[in-house]
Structure 1
Amino acid sequence: MQTNEKKVALVSGANTGVGFQIAKALAENDYIVYVGSRDLQKGEAAAREIGGKAKAIQLDITDSNSINTAVNAIETEFGYLTLLVNNAAISHAGKSGRTMEEVLGAQRASIAPINELKTVWETNVFATLAITQSLLPLLKKAPAARIVTVSSALGSLQINSNPENPYRSAFDAVYGASKTALNGIFLSLAIELENTNVKVHLVSPGFTATALNNFQGTDTVEEGSIEPIRVALVEDLPTGSFTGPANFSGPNNFLPW
C-alpha cells in the first residue's frame, strides 16, 4: 500500500470527451489517475495519450461485478481514494444516429418510452450512486477527499421554470430529469457527509459538443471542460456546491438548484 500523501483519483467515462480532459488535467497536476472506461482497450489508449500517472481501469458503472473489481484494485494498490469524478452518462437509449432534436422530441414526458427512461436513469442516477457508495469507504480513508459529479444546468428546476430560459424546451423527461434526480441525490449525500472528510460537488460543463448531444453543442470539449476541471482541482470549495460555466451561471459560477 502506498502512503496517503499521494493524490489518487478515479474518473468514470474517461476515455473520451469531458472525462478525458478531466483525467488529463489531474495527471498534469500530480494525481495518480485511474482512467475508467467500459472498454478497457479504449481506456488503455486514453491512458497512453494522457501519459504520466494515468492508469486504465475497466469500469462499467451499471455492472456490479465491474464496480467491485475496480474498487478492489484501488484498495489493493493504494488503500484509499482522494477524488472520485462521476462523469459517465448517457443521453438516450433509443436508435443511434439521431439528431439532438429528434432525441429530445422522442423524450417528452407524454410519449417517452418507459423502458428507455429506465435505461437512462439506470446509468445517470442509480449506477452513479452505486459506484459512489462502493468507493465511499476508500474516500473516507483519505485525509481529505472529494466527490465531483458531472451534472447539467438542464437539471435545475429553478432555471427550467423560468420562461425566459432559452434552453427550457430541452428539459426532457429522460435525460434532463435524470440530472434533476442526480442533483437531488448528491445534495442529499453532501448533507449527510458535511461533517466528514468527504466533500461533495456537482458541476455542469455547459452546452458542450459531445456524443451526448450528437456533437451539436455550442462549446468545444476543451471549453466545456474548464469548469469541471476547476472543480476537480480546487480543494476548498464549499461542500454541496453546484456550479457551471461563468457565461450562464451566477456569482462565483454557482447555479440555482
Structure 2
Amino acid sequence: MQKQTVLITGANKGIGYETARQLGKQGYFVFLGARDERKGNEAVRSLREEGIEAAYIRIDAADAATIASAAEEIAAQTSSLDVLINNAGIGAGGNVPSQQTIEEIRSVYEVNVFGPIQIIQAMLPLLKKAPLGRIVNVSSGLGSLTFNSDPTHEHYGANPLDYNSSKTALNAVTVLFAKEFAGTSLKINAVDPGYTATDLNNNSGTRTVEHSAGTVARLALIGEDGPSGGFFDENGAIPW
C-alpha cells in the first residue's frame, strides 16, 4: 500500500467518522475501527461513496483479542501505519463521585484508558515503520486537573469520577509514551475536541462534529517540527 494510512477507533459515527472523512479527503487510506460489523461496514460504504479508500477493522477497546486481531489484519494489508487515533470512548455516569460504583468506574477505564494502552502497544510495530508516525489520543478538557480545580472554569460543575479521571489517566498515558519515544520521529499527543454534539452527550454539545474533527485531524497531520507529549484543543496547548 503506497498511501499513508490511519487507524481510527470508534469511527463508525460522530467525531471518529468525521475525522476519517477529513483525513480520507487528505489522501489517507482509512482503517475504520468499530465494534459493530454492520455499522462499521455501513460507515466504510459511505466513505467510499465520497471517493475515500477505506476498510472496516473490527476492534473493541475493551476486548484484547479484537485488538490483537486488528493489528494482524492491518499488518496483512500494509507494511506501516502512519497515524493511530484512539477515539473510542464511553461517557460518564453520575455526577457524585461518592455514589459511583467501582464496577461503573472500571467499565469506563477499560475503554478509555486500558483500551488505548493496549491499542498503542499492539500498533507500535507498524507505527515505528512509518516515516513520521503519529498517535492522537482523544481526551477531554474534563480530564484537566487545572480545570477541575478551578471554581471559575466552565468544566468545574461537571464532576463524574469515572469519565473525568479516565481522561486524566489518558493524558498521563500520552505523556509517558511520548517520553519513551522522545527523540524519534514518532509523536504522541492528546486532544480535547471540545463539547461536541454527539451520541455521547445526547447531541447537547455546542460544537459540530466537522469542527471538532478538524481539531483532531490537525494533530494527526503535524510535521517533523510538531509537538509531542502535549495536550491541545482548537486554540492550542491547554493545561494538564
Query: Among residues 44, 47, 50, which one is paired with 2:41 in the alignment?
Result: 44
1:245 shift after superposition: 2.1
Query: Among residues 113, 126, 132, which one is paired with 1:125 in the alignment?
Result: 113
1:6 shift after superposition: 2.6
- Report what 1:87 is aligned to: 87
Query: Among residues 11, 14, 18, which one is paired with 1:17 in the alignment?
Result: 14
- Report what 1:168 is aligned to: 156
- Report what 1:66 is aligned to: 66
Contact between 2:147 and 2:155, CA under 8 Å: does it hold in 1?
no
Q: For 2:9 and 2:115, locate their aligned partners in 1 and report how far apart those are by CA, in whole Å.
A: 11
Contact between 1:10 and 1:34, CA under 8 Å: does it hold in 2?
yes
Q: For 1:207 and 1:63, locate their aligned partners in 2 and report how far apart those are by CA, in whole Å.
A: 27
Q: Confirm or deny that 1:27 pairs with 2:24.
A: yes
Structure 1 consecutive aligned stretches of length 4 or more whose deviation exceeds 3 Å? none
Contact between 1:117 and 1:174, CA under 8 Å: does it hold in 2?
yes
Show CA shifts across 1:21-50 (max 9, x none). 110011111111100010111111111111
Q: Confirm or deny that 1:53 pairs with 2:53.
A: yes
Q: Which amino acid aligns with 2:38?
A: Q
- Report what 1:237 is aligned to: 226
Q: For 2:171 and 2:159, locate their aligned partners in 1 and report how far apart those are by CA, in whole Å.
A: 14
Q: Which amino acid aligns with 1:35?
A: L
Show CA shifts across 1:158-207 (max 9, x none). 12211110221103211011100110111111111112221101111101
Q: For 1:25 and 1:34, locate their aligned partners in 2 and report how far apart those are by CA, in whole Å.
A: 13
Instruction: Count residues in correspondence.
Output: 236
Contact between 2:6 and 2:29, CA under 8 Å: does it hold in 1?
yes
TM-score by length of structure 2 reads 0.94
Q: Extract unaligned runs of 5+ from structure 1.
A: 93-102, 247-252
Q: For 2:214 and 2:148, locate their aligned partners in 1 and report how far apart those are by CA, in whole Å.
A: 23
State the identity as a percent. Answer: 41
1:234 shift after superposition: 2.7
Contact between 1:107 and 1:113, CA under 8 Å: does it hold in 2?
no
Give the aligned CA root-mean-square deviation in angstroms. 1.3
1:107 shift after superposition: 4.1
Q: For 1:54 and 1:233, locate their aligned partners in 2 and report how far apart those are by CA, in whole Å.
A: 18
Give secondary structure in 2 for the equivalent of 1:200. strand
TM-score by length of structure 1 reads 0.88
Contact between 2:15 and 2:212, CA under 8 Å: does it hold in 1?
yes
Show CA shifts across 1:62-105 (max 9, x none). 1122111110111111121110000000014xxxxxxxxxx4xx
1:237 shift after superposition: 2.1
- Report what 2:178 is aligned to: 190
Equivalent residue runs for 1:71-220 within 5 Å: 71-92=71-92, 103=93, 106-220=94-208
Give secondary structure in 2 for the equivalent of 1:110. helix
Q: For 2:183 and 2:222, locate their aligned partners in 1 and report how far apart those are by CA, in whole Å.
A: 19
Q: For 2:21 and 2:87, locate their aligned partners in 1 and report how far apart those are by CA, in whole Å.
A: 14
Q: Extract unaligned runs of 5+ from structure 2.
A: none
- Report what 1:249 is aligned to: none
Q: For 1:66 and 1:126, locate their aligned partners in 2 and report how far apart those are by CA, in whole Å.
A: 14
